[in-house]
């Protein structure tokens, strides 16, 4: 990866992605720990090339991080407060990483590129967590799926971005039937219900949930799934094409 300041990016504009997965009955968010001393966590993000649609840029960033294309994506908000810059973060980072101070401060161009105020376009993505192999960049020490309820404090306003993304997801999940992007291709009704419960953080009545979802007429009922459990075998379902 080259220095961003040397590339043909639009200046002061970034894209931040809230990548939602679903595992162990909980919503998970893909976040990376930056490759510096100190606990710096951030959402996967990137910049927009001069000749690139912003939707394409978001897709590219997601593909880099998840390894999969054809991801469900929605632009949900622009974060543009004047105080949105990396100054605090970079200064704290340099304090904790004395070796950086020479590199970065001497590299004026790079330092100035990064510490200017950024306007960031928020996208959220919904992925089947089993298909994703998280990829870190050379800025990252590591990249993790973290339960949305256990997210660490992140740089700038990234925690707020996650909150706003969840809000938008909740608003859109019904009308756009997009929750099923988080499940594998086939699933039981109980799995779908638990997913909804994770998204809305509240319980649903089993029978009414089933009725509501089936009345949408968007699922095909497949064969039963024999689990070996001491109860009736549930049907598998798949999204209609």
**Least separation in angstroms between CB 234 and DNA:** 4
| 215 sits near DNA (criterion: CB under 7 A) | yes
Burial pattern 163-180, b for ≥16 Cβ within 10 A else e, equals: ebbbebbeeebeeeeebb
Shortest distance (Å) from residue 77 CB to its own copies: 7
Q: Within positions 141 to 200, which residues make up the interface with DNA, using CB under 7 A?
A: 188-190
Q: How far is CA 197 from CA 12, 205, 209, in A?
A: 38, 10, 10
Chain centroid to Cα 212, Å, comes to 28
The candidate with the shortest Cα–Cα distance to 61, out of 11, 120, 6, 110, is 120
Taking the alpha carbons at both ends of the chain, their separation in whole angstroms is: 39
Residue 81 binds its own copies (CB under 8 A): yes
SS3 category, 67: coil
Q: Contact 30/143 with Cβ under 8 angstroms?
A: yes
Minimum separation from the CB atom of position 213 to DNA (A): 10
Residue 215 touches which of DNA, its own copies, none (CB < 5 to 8 A by kind)? DNA
Closer residue to DNA (CB): 133 or 230: 230
Residue 77 in contact with its own copies, rule: CB under 8 A: yes
Tell which one of 1, 153, 202, 228 touches DNA (CB under 7 A). 228
**One symbol per residue from 116 to 155: x for binding its own copies (CB under 8 A), - otherwise; what is it?**
-x-x-x----------------------------------
Answer left, alpha or beta for residue 167, where phi above 0 means left and psi between -120 and 50 means alpha: alpha
Q: How many residues bind DNA (CB under 7 A)?
A: 21
155 binds, among its own copies, DNA, none (CB under 5 to 8 A by kind): none
Least distance (Å) between residue 115 CB and DNA: 49
Q: Which one-letter DSSP state was computed for residue 201? A: T
Which stretches of the chain bind its own copies, using CB under 8 A? 10-13, 48, 50-56, 75, 77-78, 80-82, 117, 119, 121
């Amino acid at each position: 990866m080259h220095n961003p300041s040397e590339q043909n990016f639009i200046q002061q504009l970034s894209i931040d992605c809230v990548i939602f997965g679903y595992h162990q009955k909980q919503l998970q968010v893909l976040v990376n720990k930056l490759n510096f001393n100190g606990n710096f966590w951030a959402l996967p993000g990137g910049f927009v090339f001069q000749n690139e649609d912003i939707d394409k840029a978001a897709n590219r960033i997601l593909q880099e991080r998840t390894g999969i294309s054809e991801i469900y994506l929605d632009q949900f908000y622009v974060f543009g407060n004047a105080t949105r810059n990396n100054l605090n973060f970079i200064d704290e980072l340099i304090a904790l990483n004395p070796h950086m101070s020479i590199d970065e401060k001497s590299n004026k161009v790079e330092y100035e590129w990064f510490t200017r105020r950024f306007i960031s376009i928020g996208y959220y993505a919904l992925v089947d967590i089993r298909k994703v192999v998280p990829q870190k960049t050379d800025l990252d020490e590591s990249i993790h799926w973290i339960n949305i309820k256990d997210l660490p404090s992140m740089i700038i306003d990234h925690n707020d971005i996650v909150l706003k993304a969840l809000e938008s997801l909740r608003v859109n999940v019904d009308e756009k039937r997009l929750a099923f992007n988080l499940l594998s291709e086939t699933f039981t009704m109980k799995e779908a219900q638990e997913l909804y419960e994770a998204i809305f953080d509240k319980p649903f009545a089993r029978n009414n949930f089933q009725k509501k979802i089936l009345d949408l007429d968007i699922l095909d009922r497949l064969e039963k799934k024999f689990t070996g459990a001491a109860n009736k075998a549930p049907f598998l379902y798949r999204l209609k094409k």
